[in-house]
Amino acid sequence: MKNRLLISVILFCLIGCGGDYEHMRYTHMYEFIVENQFRDKTITIVPKSRSNMDFWITSNENYIVIPNEKIIIGYKIVNNNDSKLKDIYKPDDVIEPFELFIDDIKQEKNFSLRKFWNFSIKKKNESGEYLLIINEYNLKN
């Protein structure tokens, strides 16, 4: 709930606190969610250096994802002249650098690459969602 309030305040400031409105016609918000599909393993997301200051809005601390849980780990707000939401990353782009641990064991696969995240558009083109699913299949492939 606090995260949604924070995003509302940020959007209000982006839209209403001055700026060049001719070049900033549309504001799109993207949520980044990690889903732990393991029944008995805990996932820890450890953010590395922040490459884009508008991404890790929710926290600078580690994220703990308990078994069978889905959590939001970050948001990104994009201003552009395009009214339609779209995938803003290429497959080999790093969304935001982080390390992933499963039961305190560091994973070698770079899950911060876009190719591991599923993209979808939510609520009639109002927001985008990137979902990273961690399960046995995704670790092996």
Per the prediction, the chain carries an average pLDDT of 81
What is the structure's pLDDT at 24? Answer: 47
Work out the pLDDT band at 31, boundaries 50, 70, 90.
very high
Query: Sign (positive/negative) of CA torsion 79, 80, 85, 90?
Result: negative
- Per-residue pLDDT at 33: 95
CA distance 29 to 123: 11
| Residue whose C-alpha is closest to residue 14's, from 25, 4, 30 | 25
Amino acid at 109: K
**pLDDT (mean) for 28-47:** 94
Q: Which helix (H) or strand (E) segment is 122 a member of? A: strand 117-122
Using pLDDT thresholds of 50, 70 and 90, give the confidence band for residue 9: very low
Across the beta sheet with 105-106, the strand order is 63-65, 43-47, 98-102, 105-106
Q: How confident is the model at residue 53 (pLDDT cuts 50, 70, 90)?
A: low
| Residue 77 lies in domain | 2-140
Q: Could you write out the DSSP letters of every residue in 83-119?
A: SS------TT-BSS-EEEEETTEE--S-TTBGGGEEE
For residues 95 and 134, which has the higher predicted lDDT (pLDDT)? 134
| Over residues 128-132, mean pLDDT | 96
Joined tokens for residue 136: 């046995």
- Number of compact structural domains in the chain: 1
